[in-house]
Chains A and B, each alone.
Chain A
Amino acid sequence: MRLSKALFVISFWLCVSMHAQNKQLLYDFTEIPQSLMINPGAQVDFKWYAGVPTVSGLSFQAGSSGISAFDLFANDGLDINDKLRDRVLNGMTARDELSGTYQLELLNVGFRGKDPNMFYSFGIYNEGDAIGYWFEDYAILAIDGNADQLSKRFDLGDLKTRGEMMNVFHFGANKIVNRKLTVGARAKIYSSIFDFNSTRNKGFFVTRPGQNNLLSSTFNADMQWRTSGINAIKDGNSEETLGNTIFKRGFFGGNLGLGVDLGFTYKTNDQTTFTGSLLDLGLIYHSNDVENYTLNGDITTEGVEVILPDALSNPNLDFWQDLVDDIEEVIPFENNFDSYVTFRPTKLNASLRYNWGEQSLGAADCDCGPNASGSNRAPKYLNGIGGQIYMINRPRGPQTALTAFYIRRFGNIMALKATYTVDKFSYTNVGLGINLQAGPVNLYFLADNLLAYQNLIDSQYLSFQLGLNIISWGKK
C-alpha cells in the first residue's frame, strides 16, 4: 500500500473514531485528583497531590456518529465501492460528525491552603481538538458529479470544520463554603499552537437548463478558511525544527487567550449530592502567523458565448480567457492576514448522586502502607448511584450525552465506577473506571465503550484516560 493511502486509512480510522470531549467516567470520581479539572468545585479531601509529569493525565477519545472503519474495510467479499456508496454516500448526512480530542497533562499539582477550607491546584496541559462534519454534498460531487442532477443545489455550507492545538496554563481554587456547599473556579491561559476553522460557509453550486445554451452553472459562495500557526508548523516541518516550533508556540510564542472553569458540589442531604461545572468559558485572539482564505461571489455561466454581430467587432477576442478572467474577477479566491477570535468549545456537566451503604474506613484501618496511616482522609459511602448530563457547544449546535453511573468503593485502596452513556454516537456505551491507591501512589484507568472492544475496528467510539499521581491526605 502506498504511503499516502496508508495514511488515509489510518487517518480515516482515527477520524471516524473521533468523539466529543465527554469524560463521564472521570466526572465526580473524586478519588482521582484530575476530577478537579472537570469540576473545580469537586469535593476533594487531599492535603496535596502531584501528578507525575506527562503521565498524570492522558486522555484520548475517538468516535463517529456515522460509520466505523469496519463498515468499509471488513473482509466481507463486497465491493469497496458499493460499500462506499451504500454506507457513506447514502448512509451519512451533513449532521454526522467526525471529531475528537486528546489531553496530555504536563504538570498538575494541588495543595490545601493555610485555610483548610481552601484547596488550590495548578498546572499545564496540552490539548488537541478537532471536528469535521460530513461534507455530504462535496462528497456527492466528488463521487457522482453533477451530471443528470439538474437543479440540485449542492450546499457549500457542508464544509464545516475546526481544529486546534494548544497548551493550557491553569490555576484553580476550591473552597468549602459549608458542610453542604463546595465551589471552585479555575482561571486559564490558552497558548494556541495552531488553529484552523471554517465553520460559517454559505453558498451553493447548481446546474440548470440554460437560457441561451443547453446548461447553465451557478456558483454562489461566501466561504472562509481561517488559520493561525499553520504556516509556522509547515515551516518548522520543512526546516526540521517542528519540535522547537511547537514548544515555542505552546509556551506563549503563539496566540493567547483567556478562559475560566466554574463548578460546585452541593449536598442536598447526607446521602444526596448535586454537582455542576461549566468548562472553557473563554476565547483566543489570533493575531500571530494568521492567514485566511476567502471565496466570495456569485456567477452564472453557460460557457463561451458568441453573439453576432458583436463578436465580429474584434476578431482577436479570446472568449475562453475572458470567461476565465470574468469568473476570477467576480468570485475571487483571496487571502488575508486579518486577526480573528475563536471561542473555546464550552462544556457543561451536571450530576445527581445518591450514596448509601457503610461508610468506607479511614486510611488508618486499611492496608494502605505506612504513608496513609492516620490521615485526614474523609470517610465515604461504599456505594453511589446517579445520573450525569454533558453538553458541549459545537458548530452545528450543542450536543448532549446522558449517563447513568454506579460507583463502588473497596476500602480506601480501590474504587470502581461503571457508566452507561447515551448520545448521538452510541446507545451501547458501557464504561468502566478503576482507581487504585497504594499508599501515596494513585493510579487510575478509565475506558469507555467496552462492548466495542469485541471488535475495535467496528467501534464508532473509543475512549480511555489514565494517570499516575502522588497523593497525601496529611497527618491527623
Chain B
Amino acid sequence: MKIKSKFFLCVVVFLSILSSCVEDVDFNQFENIAATPTYEAGILYLEAPEDVINLVSGTSVFSQNFNFDAFSSDVFANRVIDGTITYVVENTTSKELEITVEFLDEADTILDTEVFSIDPEPTAIIQREIAYGASGRSIEIIKSLSTIRVVAENLGDNSSTSNLENPIITLKSSGKFRVELIK
C-alpha cells in the first residue's frame, strides 16, 4: 500500500509538470514578415579633363556605351521595389557642357534619358535625384537596364582653358534601392 501511494504521488507530480500550457500564439504571422532593406552603392564615375576636351574637334567629346548588368540580374531585378539614382555633375572647365545619360535595354532600346547642361566654372555643380518606382519613373527601367550610354558634348570652344587647377568635368552617380528580401 505504501509503495502504491508513493507511486501515485509521483504520477501526480509528473502529470502536473506535463500539463503545461501554451498561450495564444499565431504562427501565421510569419506570412506577414517583410524584409525590405535599402542598399546603396556607387554606380558610375566619369571624368574628362579639359585638355582632352580641347583635343576633340567638333562638339562630341565623348560617347560610350557601358555594359551594366547589375540591375538586370535576376537576384536584383526580381526583388527591387523602388529607389533613386543620384547624379552629381561638376564642371571646372571653362566651357559649357552637356552630359546625356541614357539607359538602354538588351535590344539597345532607350528606356530613360537624363540630360545635364552645365555652365562653366566656377559655380557649375548639378545634383539631381531621379526616383524610380511608385513615386517616380517606372521601376521596369531599372529592371531592364543593360547598358548605360554617356554622351558628352562641348557647347563652348576648343581652345579656352580654365584658371582652376586641374580643370575637369566629372559625372558621379550612386543608387539607393529598396529590395524585397523576404517575399
Residues in A lying within 8 Å of B, measured CB to CB: 1, 5-6, 8-9, 69-70, 72-75, 79-81, 84, 141-148, 207, 210, 212-217, 301-309, 311-312, 315, 318-321, 367-368, 410, 413-414, 432, 434, 436, 438, 445, 447, 450, 453-458
Q: Complex formed: what's the CA distance from A307 to B166 in Å?
A: 14
A306-B150, A312-B62, A320-B70 known; 10 new pairs, CB 8 Å cut-off, are A80-B33, A141-B37, A142-B181, A145-B37, A145-B179, A210-B45, A306-B64, A307-B45, A320-B67, A410-B6
Interface 0/1 of B3-17, CB less than 8 Å to A: 100110010011001
| Contact (Cβ within 8 A) B49 A75 | no
Quick check: is B46 within 8 A (CB to CB) of the other chain?
yes
Query: Assuming A80-B29, A432-B13, is B42 touching A216 (CB within 8 A)?
Result: yes
Closest to A69 in B: B25
Q: Complex formed: what's the CA distance from A35 to B2 in Å?
A: 28
Closest to B3 in A: A367
Q: Which residues of B contact A458 (CB under 8 A)?
A: 23
| Contact (Cβ within 8 A) A215 B68 | no
Instruction: Tally chain B residues at the interface, Cβ within 8 Å.
Output: 57
Number of A-B contacts (CB under 8 A): 174
Query: Assuming A214-B172, A303-B173, is B10 touching A434 (CB within 8 A)?
Result: yes
| Contact (Cβ within 8 A) B17 A432 | yes
| Contact (Cβ within 8 A) B42 A309 | no
| Contact (Cβ within 8 A) A308 B86 | no
Q: Which residues of A contact B165 (CB under 8 A)?
A: none
Interface 0/1 of B26-56, CB less than 8 Å to A: 1111111111011111111111110010010
Q: Which residues of A contact B35 (CB under 8 A)?
A: 142-143
| Contact (Cβ within 8 A) A320 B2 | no
Query: Assuming A302-B45, A303-B43, A413-B6, is B174 touching A453 (CB within 8 A)?
Result: no
Query: Assuming A436-B10, A453-B20, A456-B20, is B64 touching A213 (CB within 8 A)?
Result: no
Q: Complex formed: what's the CA distance from A72 to B31 in Å?
A: 13
Q: Name B52's contact: one of A143, A308, A450 (CB within 8 Å).
A: A308
Query: Assuming A80-B32, A304-B66, A307-B47, is B42 touching A214 (CB within 8 A)?
Result: yes
Query: Assuming A84-B33, A143-B35, is B23 touching A457 (CB within 8 A)?
Result: yes
Q: Which residues of B contact A146 (CB under 8 A)?
A: 37, 39-40
Q: Complex formed: what's the CA distance from A215 to B88 in Å?
A: 12
| Contact (Cβ within 8 A) B32 A79 | yes
Q: Which residues of A contact B137 (CB under 8 A)?
A: none
Most buried by A among B3, B10, B41, B64: B41
Name the distance in Å between B132's Cβ and chain A's nearest Cβ: 15
Name the distance in Å between B90's Cβ and chain A's nearest Cβ: 11
Q: Which residues of B contact A311 (CB under 8 A)?
A: 64
Closest to B39 in A: A145
Q: Complex formed: what's the CA distance from A213 to B87 in Å?
A: 10
Q: Name A308's contact: one of B26, B39, B49, B181 (CB within 8 Å).
A: B49
| Contact (Cβ within 8 A) B25 A457 | yes
Query: Assuming A147-B39, A311-B64, A457-B22, is B44 touching A306 (CB within 8 A)?
Result: yes
Name the distance in Å between A277's Cβ and chain B's nearest Cβ: 27
Q: Complex formed: what's the CA distance from A367 to B3 in Å?
A: 7
Q: Which residues of B contact A410 (CB under 8 A)?
A: 6
Closest to B83 in A: A147
Report 8 cross-chain contacts, Cβ distance below 8 Å, ordered by A residue: A142-B35, A144-B37, A146-B37, A147-B176, A214-B173, A450-B17, A453-B21, A454-B21
| Contact (Cβ within 8 A) B10 A318 | no
Q: Complex formed: what's the CA distance from A447 to B40 in Å?
A: 50
Query: Assuming A212-B45, A308-B49, is B20 touching A143 (CB within 8 A)?
Result: no
Which are the 5 A-B pairs with shortest beta-carbon distances? Answer: A145-B37, A453-B20, A303-B42, A147-B38, A213-B42
Q: Complex formed: what's the CA distance from A210 to B44 in Å?
A: 12
Name the distance in Å between A83's Cβ and chain B's nearest Cβ: 8
Query: Assuming A75-B26, A306-B45, A414-B6, is B68 touching A320 (CB within 8 A)?
Result: yes
Q: Which residues of B contact A144 (CB under 8 A)?
A: 37-38
Q: Complex formed: what's the CA distance from A321 to B62 in Å?
A: 21
Name the distance in Å between A355's Cβ and chain B's nearest Cβ: 21
Q: Which residues of A contact B47 (CB under 8 A)?
A: 212, 305-308
| Contact (Cβ within 8 A) A207 B41 | yes
Closest to B148 in A: A304
Name the distance in Å between B77's Cβ and chain A's nearest Cβ: 15
Closest to A414 in B: B6
Q: Which residues of B contact A74 (CB under 8 A)?
A: 23-26
Q: Which residues of B contact A81 (CB under 8 A)?
A: 32-34
Q: Complex formed: what's the CA distance from A2 to B64 in Å?
A: 48
Q: Which residues of B contact A309 (CB under 8 A)?
A: 49, 52, 55
Quick check: is B69 within 8 A (CB to CB) of the other chain?
yes
Residues of B158-183 whose CB lies within 8 A of A: 170, 172-174, 176, 178-179, 181
Q: Which residues of A contact B70 (CB under 8 A)?
A: 320
| Contact (Cβ within 8 A) A1 B28 | yes
Q: Which residues of B contact A305 (CB under 8 A)?
A: 44-45, 47
Name the distance in Å between B150's Cβ and chain A's nearest Cβ: 8
Q: Which residues of A contact B6 (CB under 8 A)?
A: 410, 413-414
Name the distance in Å between A168's Cβ and chain B's nearest Cβ: 29
Q: Complex formed: what's the CA distance from A66 to B54 in Å?
A: 65
Q: Which residues of A contact B10 (CB under 8 A)?
A: 414, 434, 436
Closest to A304 in B: B44
| Contact (Cβ within 8 A) B20 A454 | yes
Q: Complex formed: what's the CA distance from A1 to B31 in Å?
A: 7
Closest to B1 in A: A367
Name the distance in Å between B154's Cβ and chain A's nearest Cβ: 13
